[in-house]
Amino acid sequence: MISIGAGATIAAVMRNTPVDQLETRMLLGHVTQLTRVQLITHAEHVLSAAEAEQLNSLFQRRIAGEPIAYLLGKREFFGLTFQVDPAVLIPRPDTELLVELALQHVPQQGRVLDMGTGSGAIAIAIAHTRGDTHVSALDVSASALLVAQNNAKTHQVDVEFLRSDWFAALDGQQFDLIVSNPPYIVAGDRHLSEGDLRFEPIDALTDHADGLSALRTISQLAAQHLSDEGWLLMEHGYDQAEAVRDLLTANDFTQVQSWCDLANIERVTGGKKSGTAK
């Protein structure tokens, strides 16, 4: 086991770290409150006993596999810093595609609903970019909603939060755009027992079934909560685009299409409510 002692300098920590250099810099910044640049210009800064102790504990947790985002308590998404903790999924860069598409599909002053908001990253990124819109966000997890509400406060956006199991608590509310990054990993997928995912809320990752059940529920019921011409956009797994297009088509959506993420994988599928949809 490594141990950084009180009196060690930043430079010595960088030389002796048990984790990689980038992560060491992030953890050092967290512990010392020095910026990235200061960590370089203050390389001879000496750690206090408390800082050394905190750093050792963070190194140990990182070595045990805990995600760096949970250790820091934050993650960047869409240019904003979001508070995260193990109650919420860590926002992924892939999901920025969903935000970009949402921004393209929401009309002026449009009403937006984010289903399964987690940290609130999607809803808050939309509200922050488009102050004209009215954004609502729901989650079944009360502890996730607390994180999301905090994030909305930090970014000074007015998002209406609601605790709801998908559409259950929604009554007759209507939206011009519904977005969701629901749990879509198939039960038993090996990724669930690897890397960061082991530490993330399991119910945010998998439906404990075929991976499509949340996508199916949303596809079946969204039209009831969409205005005419309203759009539904959902993130999904790398091999689910065709299945999600079929779900939307079967539920009378039009202009059904998928969009690729940065890795050129179909990652978001959406469609427009047709005039005849129920």
| Site of interaction with ligand GLN (CB under 6 A) | 92, 181-185, 197, 205
Closer of 176 and 200 to ligand GLN (Cβ): 200
- CB nearer to ligand GLN: pick between 31 and 147: 147
User: Quick one: 49 or 265, whose CB is closer to ligand GLN?
Assistant: 265
Q: Kindly state the smallest distance separating residue 39's Cβ from ligand GLN, in Å.
A: 30
Q: Is 94:235 a contact under the CB 8 Å cutoff? A: yes
Phi, psi angles (nearest 5°) of residue 143:
-70, -30
Q: Supply the minimum distance, in Å, between the C-beta of residue 139 and ligand GLN.
A: 13
CB of 235 to ligand GLN, least distance (A): 6
Distance, in Å, from the CA atom of 178 to the CA atom of 162, rounded to the nearest integer, reads: 14
- The nearer residue to ligand GLN, 42 or 92, going by C-beta atoms, is 92
- Between CA 246 and CA 233 the distance in angstroms is 14
Helix (H) or strand (E) holding 268: strand 266-273
Residue 243 in contact with residue 266, Cβ under 8 Å?
no
For residue 266 the two structure tokens come to: 């179909």
Do residues 233 and 185 make contact, with C-beta atoms less than 8 angstroms apart?
A: no
Q: Nearer to ligand GLN by C-beta: 61 or 92?
A: 92
CA-to-CA distance for 131 and 135, rounded, in angstroms? Answer: 9
Q: Pull the structure tokens for residue 244.
A: 């999600």
Cβ 123 to ligand GLN shortest distance, Å: 15
Least distance between ligand GLN and beta carbon 258 (Å): 15
